[in-house]
Structure 1
Amino acid sequence: MNDNSGGLAMHEVLAAVLQVRDGQLQVLLWQRGIEPDAGRWALPGGRLGNSEDVQTSVLRQLAEKVDVREVAHVEQIEVFSAPDRMPQERTVVTAFLGLVPCVADPALPGDTAWHPVTDALQESPRTAFDHGLIVRRARDRLRAKLSYTNLGFALAPPEFTVSSLRELYAVALGHRVSATNLQRVLARRGVLVPTGGTAAPGPSGGRPAALYRFAERGMRITDPFAVLRPPESQHSPEGAVHLADPRAAP
């Protein structure tokens, strides 16, 4: 435990950068080369500069340290200030959620890699300090905001079929999603816009699927009372998406 009585705490920024890759929700981590926690995997970030705000700092450090410039959305999720969160010098961290579209493939240094969020939350690989907790909070924030905002734009490519968008939502939410229900919900909220184009037919042929895009490439609240829930039981329709009003009685 650190002893910083009478001194000032350091302030750092960290980003849990998430992306749907290879059919999984993944988080960007780098492997620490020095103590404390040498060999463990950490979130990218660093100390806050004297002349910058926290969001400017985290974007700068993502670009400089891990070459992530294609962040479609970034938002502050929480401040972590437990006195013993770092073993040497007391450090307060402002944590961010960052989202990278599924089509982006940023160049990464040799000590940096994408890891499935589920693995990071199970300490495989072992994460540094309280970074596993930050990853969990970032994942939970993403899942919550997919329910009542248009935040899916930050995970999706510029154009997509409803089926491919369904796959992105299912991976991010961690449960089955019906393409029909998803299209109906997002269309009602004015989130999706048809491009007029179609996707190339698959190997089995069939009717070309219509292409869509998000109406906006910035986050907005679309339904403040909606909640996307997984199927409630084995009797629920295959791939169901349940929308509930949290104001209603259970």
Structure 2
Amino acid sequence: MGGAQETGAQVEPVVRDSAGIARYRHEAICAVLRVTDGRLAVLLSTRVSPPFAGLHTLPSGAVEPEETLDQAVLRHLAAKVDVAGLAHLEQLGTQSDPHRDPAQRTIGTGYLGLMQASNEPHLPDGAGWFDVDELPAMGFDHAAVVARAIERLRAKLSYTNLGFALAPDEFTIGELREVYVAALGHDVSATNLQRILTRRGQLEATGAKHPVGSKGGRPAQVFRFVDRTLVVTDPFAVLRPD
């Protein structure tokens, strides 16, 4: 995952203030994940300028002096996707390898963003959704940010209600299972999923039923998440493969 650094790039010297304290560039980086076509995907763009021209990168950019990290990541995301469509955003951690940016000393703070499967945002030219299991060559250390984002998502799906940020507003248990299978990367029983999430108080029935399909059968009950903000419901739980 990720491409090799381009050769020939000159790293700018670290700037220091009058007291000799180093002043670094700081950037915000976001791995936006969603389930599309039954697979977990991440938003990437093709980089057009050096370093790493032609490789794929996550939405990212410098933090301005007058803004917070959260404000910075939302500003850079807005250039790639409708940030109003984000169902969840949280900070992942810091990337601090001195050589992570061959152009200059740069500290990077990574974020995880989640979008509902039913959301189909307009993307600019050069941007697209890529299967996390088949990532293209990536610039900088952005592949490591993607890996950390997936790890965080999968962990939190086990002990929180974070599925609300990937699933549609309303869904059948079969539809919800497809989202969880894609996000977790392993099979999950629909019966067990409903039992576990109901026991934890995450799901409630809407009273509606999904129409019977061409193959017949009973109408499927429609559910929704009780909360649409992050709630820890079972701190010691793990959703394992069946």
TM-score by length of 2: 0.91
Tell whether the 8 Å contact from 1:62 to 1:69 is kept in structure 2 after alignment. Answer: no
The amino acid of 1:196's aligned partner reads G
CA deviation map 1:90-119 (0-9, x unaligned): 111110000000010110011111100111
The amino acid of 1:35's aligned partner reads P
CA RMSD of aligned residues (A): 1.2
Distance across 2 between alignment mates of 1:179 and 1:55: 36
* Structure-1 residue corresponding to 2:5: none
CA deviation map 1:132-170 (0-9, x unaligned): 111000000000000000000000101000111011101
Tell whether the 8 Å contact from 2:206 to 2:222 is kept in structure 1 after alignment. Answer: yes
Distance across 1 between alignment mates of 2:73 and 2:147: 19
TM-score by length of 1: 0.88
CA deviation map 1:23-70 (0-9, x unaligned): 110000000001000000000021112221111221222123434430
Distance across 1 between alignment mates of 2:61 and 2:128: 18
Aligned residues: 227
Distance across 2 between alignment mates of 1:15 and 1:200: 38
* Structure-1 residue corresponding to 2:111: 96
Gaps of 5+ in 1: 231-239, 241-250
Structure ranking higher on relative contact order (CA contacts 8 Å, 6+ apart): 2
Counterparts of 1:78-227 in structure 2, within 5 Å, are 78-120=93-135, 125-227=136-238
* Structure-2 residue corresponding to 1:52: 67
Tell whether the 8 Å contact from 1:44 to 1:66 is kept in structure 2 after alignment. Answer: no
- Percent identical pairs in the alignment equals 51
1:212 aligns to what SS in structure 2?
Answer: strand
Tell whether the 8 Å contact from 2:14 to 2:104 is kept in structure 1 after alignment. Answer: no
State the Cα distance separating 1:5 from its structure 2 match: 3.9
Gaps of 5+ in 2: 1-9, 17-22
* Structure-2 residue corresponding to 1:234: none
**What stretches of structure 1 move > 2 A for 4+ residues in a row?**
1-7, 64-69
Distance across 2 between alignment mates of 1:72 and 1:66: 13
